[in-house]
Every structure is written in structure tokens, then in C-alpha cells.
Amino acid sequence: MLKRLLYPLYEPMLRRDLEDVEINHILLVISASDIRDRAGISKLRQFIEWSFDLSIPDVCIYISTRENGGGMPATLTTTIYNELESIDAKLAVYTHQTSRVKKNGDERYSVNVSIGLGGRDELVYATRKIMEEVKAGHITPEEIDEKLIESKLIFNFTPDLIIRSGTTKLTDFLIWQAVYSELYFTDVSWVNFRKIDFLRAVRDFKKRERRFGR
């Protein structure tokens, strides 16, 4: 009862603490089981709105499908795209088989959703592209470096903060790009994930001293 009474006061207090937070890119990692119903999908939209409200311009969401045998119904992928399409931002939704892109949103904001397309898959695709260019004689093996590999990745950005909901397990998503990202694990399931849980994750990030591997 007391928690319910204090909640309306706690959220604004957290929000004021984060006025000057500097995050350019945030990544949310959830499982396919988290979005089995409409409420779970609608919360994806809320997460994006919470991020934009803190002036975080780039939001990425990775939906792990390992527990589903690596796939999801095409209808669910369409539902996710339709739910997010009206957000005023650039939007792209990727799976192993397809990609759907909306480019006519506010150029200052972007939303990328990967459904089951993990980091190891991405590196395999990048390697194939590079080998095709080597075979065609466009580049030599000696020219392959980090910059070239990064140019072939599907997701060409580096998240500042990664939020993993409902578990403390790592994910292989963005394994190349996220080497210096800050990780935040919460045992709060996606179904129960609230705005204050989001704000707490951002507050934790703000308190950290980032070393970028140094």
C-alpha cells in the first residue's frame, strides 16, 4: 500500500536525477516468450517512448528466439512492425529471412529491432560478403581489417547501455559492437517491467565510470 502511494513521487524524482544523462544508443534484450501477448508488444513502444523522453536518439531491441527453436511466426513479426510504425522515427525490423524499413520518420531518432538475428549470424553474413569481394578481386586478404568488417555489419552502431530483462544471461547480439558497452541485468520480467525500472537502469549507467577497455 505504501509503495503504491509513493510511486507517483518516486518516478519524477528519478527523472530529475537524469536530466543530464548522456546516452546515444540504448539496447533492450528480451526473449520471444516476453511478447506472446499484446501487452508485451505494446510495452516495446513504451520503452522506445521512455528512451526518447530522455533524449536517447537511437534505440535497439533484440528479441531472442532460441527458446522458440530460432524462429517466430511471420504474423508476430508483422504485428511488432505495425505497433511501432507510427512512432516518429526511422524504423527497421530484421529477421533471418526479411527486413522491413520505414525511412520517413524523424531523422533524429531511430529504432532497430532484431528478431532472432544474433551477433554470430551477423558476423557470418559479414564474412560471406567479404569473401565474395575477395573472390571477385575487389579486395585482397591483406586489406581485411576491423574497419572493413564493421562496414559489412548489419547493425553499424555501438550501444552505450544494454538492458537485459528477466535474467542475468548474456546474449550474443552485437557481440562485435558491444565490446565496451555497459551491461545492466534486472530480474524484473518484461511483463512487470515499469518505467521506474527503466529509469533505475539509466541512473545506474550514469553513476558508472566508463573505461572503454582501458
CB 39 within 8 A of CB 75: no
Task: Tell me the residue range of the domain where 167 lies.
Answer: 14-117+154-207
CATH of the domain at 26: 3.40.1180.10
pLDDT at residue 83 greater than cutoff 90: yes
For the chain, what is the domain count?
A: 1
Q: Taking residues 60-83, what's their average pLDDT? A: 80
User: Which residues partner with 26 through β-bridges?
Assistant: 59, 161
Residue 141 lies in a domain: no
- The grid coordinates listed for 91 are 524504423
* 152: Cβ contacts below 8 Å, ≥ 6 apart: 125, 126, 129, 130
Residue 109 lies in a domain: yes
Query: 3-state SS of the chain: helix, strand, coil percent to 5?
Result: 45, 20, 40
pLDDT at residue 91 greater than cutoff 80: yes
Residue 134 lies in a domain: no
Residue 128 lies in a domain: no
pLDDT at residue 6 greater than cutoff 70: no
pLDDT one-digit tens code per residue, 121-171 = 999 999 999 999 999 999 999 999 999 999 999 998 899 999 999 887 878
| pLDDT at 172 (0 to 100) | 84
pLDDT one-digit tens code per residue, 164-196 = 998 878 788 898 999 899 999 999 999 999 999
Q: Taking residues 95-105, what's their average pLDDT? A: 87
Average pLDDT, the chain: 88
Residue 189 lies in a domain: yes
Residue 130 lies in a domain: no
Element housing 207 (H / E):
helix 195-207
SS3 call for 31: strand
Residue 65 lies in a domain: yes
Residue 138 lies in a domain: no
Q: Taking residues 102-113, what's their average pLDDT? A: 91
DSSP structural state of residue 132:
H
| pLDDT at 72 (0 to 100) | 66
- The grid coordinates listed for 138 are 575487389
